[in-house]
Chain A
Amino acid sequence: MGLDADQVQRLLAMVADTRDEEIDCGHCLAGMAEFVEVSLLGTELTEALARIEEHLTTCPECSEEYALLRELLREGANS
């Protein structure tokens, strides 16, 4: 298979959003517990947590894991 118009556009979006310094998935996991609790409280993000938020917007896998985490916490707490 080759690339279709949507894939080329997604690649360009990924390239445009690329930062010189980005955290990887390991760092994201390390800070995710704190991030989810701060996010649920709606309090201001520290710089370190803001980088986790950035990573979540660009990494589909971490974003999927974060969505599952929020559901697990919600349902675990309510059951």
Chain B
Amino acid sequence: MKRAPRTNDEWIADLRSRGAEQTAALADLRAYLLRALPGCLDRRGGLPLELIEDVVQDTLIRVLDRLGDFEGRSRFTTWTTTIAARIAMTELRRKRWKDVSLDDLTADGMRPSHSTVDPGRDPEEATARNRIVRRLLELVDSDLSERQRTAIVAELGGMPQEEIGRRLGISRNAVYKLGHDARRKLQLGLEASGFDAAAIRAAFMQER
């Protein structure tokens, strides 16, 4: 007879036990994750089956390590799935970006590859846009650290923060903070020059 789904408390108790209950709970969690992972990952470029098995195994290890972090604000299986989703996307990104170096993306820094401002419908609009872009690029040169510039340019080139962090030897959270500090400096610098968020949106994002 099929057993009733475990409650959150039952999952925690079984996974904390050291005996047959833990083995059964891990097997059930593994089967649950493997139901949907291969198909969902296939639609994102796919991972070899052995790597999907690794994703599941890493998820189970992390779940066991972090049982104390589960606060019961969701179903236990939802919490487990968030961990699996992050580990799976990390593997996919590693696969997609394995042959790209930071230098490939940041060799020319912020130097515009060609005109960075599409002419607006009227010259006044184009002038306003040009002034904002010119000031932005000045601030990038004067106010950002080399690391901040590298992180921002790599991110604009499409490299995930996790991969930027791997190459810089820092965590994804640290890359996020590096980027946030850089954006905040640019925001304050633009505001001091008379270009607040509303002015930027009015000049560039009105057609969105």
Interface of A toward B, CB cutoff 8 Å: 1-5, 7-18, 20, 22, 24-26, 29-34, 36-37, 59-61, 64-66, 68-69, 71-76, 79
Contact = CB atoms under 8 A, between A and B. Distances in A.
Given A3-B116, A24-B173, A36-B74, 9 more contacts: A4-B114, A15-B187, A15-B200, A37-B74, A37-B78, A61-B162, A66-B85, A69-B81, A76-B33
B136 A15 contact: yes
For this complex, into which size category does the number of interface residues on chain B fall? 35 or more
Contacts of B110: 2-3
Given A5-B116, A22-B180, A37-B75, A76 B133 contact: no
Nearest to B78: A33
B150 to A, nearest CB: 13
B78 A64 contact: no
A69 B83 CA distance: 9
17 contacts: A2-B114, A3-B153, A4-B116, A13-B200, A15-B186, A16-B200, A16-B201, A18-B183, A25-B173, A29-B86, A31-B73, A33-B81, A37-B75, A64-B89, A68-B40, A69-B85, A72-B81
Interface of B: 32-33, 35-37, 39-40, 43-44, 69, 73-75, 77-79, 81-86, 88-89, 93, 104-105, 107-118, 132-133, 136, 152-153, 156-157, 160-162, 172-173, 176-177, 180, 183-184, 186-187, 190, 197, 200-201, 204-205
A69 B82 CA distance: 6
